[in-house]
Structure 1
Amino acid sequence: MGIKLFLDDMRTCPDGYVLARNYDECILMLTACEVEVLSLDHDLGAARTGYDVAKWIVEKNRWPKQICFHTSNPVGRRNMQQLLQRYAPPYVAIDR
């Protein structure tokens, strides 16, 4: 069974999730672990965003079973959703 991964630079990590504070930590976890659920924030207070993580997932074809969004940025949310929905394999659930 895989982990639940929570990408956010400021929020408290929910119980049952593993926290990644930035792009690099998130990519490390996506590479090293089987990720069942990925919850994405868009704005990470750095040069790379949750959208960059979404692009990496598409480029590397490294898909969690479920992707959800907890970002407060509506444009960032829509951009991540659209990119991931366009390329996701049928077994991946993407929250709307």
Structure 2
Amino acid sequence: MLNVFLDDRRPNPPGYKLARTAEEAIRYLRARQVNTLSLDYDLSTHPVTGLDVVRFMVDRSIYPKRIIIHSANPFGRRRMLRMLLPSKPESVAVTVQPLPWI
């Protein structure tokens, strides 16, 4: 099982595999290899954002055990939380841990 850090600019923390695009993160989710997923909202692939990864999880009911929203964008954090919280299984932990802008 992998820990995946979705971010287009920040380096991955130790113990995390880096996904620079939403598509990369979704590939890991499709393979059901993700234990923890840490999400940024704003990506250089705009208009594709971290919300697209959340939408993928919700639409297909594919969730890692833990989701961290690390985006510094307060609007993006709220959008991802509003979509995740009502649909995720109770066993999935969701936390918000914003990281500073780079």
What secondary structure does 1:95 align onto? strand
Q: Deviations over 1:14-61 (max 9, x none)?
A: 010001000111111111242110000000011210001100000011
Task: Check whether the contact 1:3–1:33 (CA below 8 A) recurs between aligned residues.
Answer: no
Task: Determine the C-alpha separation between the residues in 1 that align with 2:43 and 2:78.
Answer: 16
Work out the percentage of aligned pairs sharing the same amino acid: 43
User: What residue is the counterpart of 1:87 in the other structure?
Assistant: 87
Q: Specify the code of the residue in structure 2 equivalent to 1:24.
A: E
User: What residue is the counterpart of 2:26 in the other structure?
Assistant: 27
Q: Report which of the two has the higher share of helix.
A: 1
Task: Determine the C-alpha separation between the residues in 2 that align with 1:72 and 1:87.
Answer: 23
Which consecutive aligned stretches of 4+ in structure 1 deviate over 3 angstroms post-superposition? none
Name the TM-score, length of structure 1 as normaliser. Answer: 0.94
Higher deviation after alignment, 5-14 or 28-37? 28-37
User: What residue is the counterpart of 1:61 in the other structure?
Assistant: 61
User: What residue is the counterpart of 1:14 in the other structure?
Assistant: 13
Name the TM-score, length of structure 2 as normaliser. Answer: 0.89
Gaps of 5+ in 2: 97-102
| Matched length | 95
Task: Determine the C-alpha separation between the residues in 2 that align with 1:24 and 1:18.
Answer: 14
Task: Check whether the contact 1:36–1:66 (CA below 8 A) recurs between aligned residues.
Answer: yes
Task: Determine the C-alpha separation between the residues in 2 that align with 1:25 and 1:94.
Answer: 21
Q: Specify the code of the residue in structure 2 equivalent to 1:30.
A: L
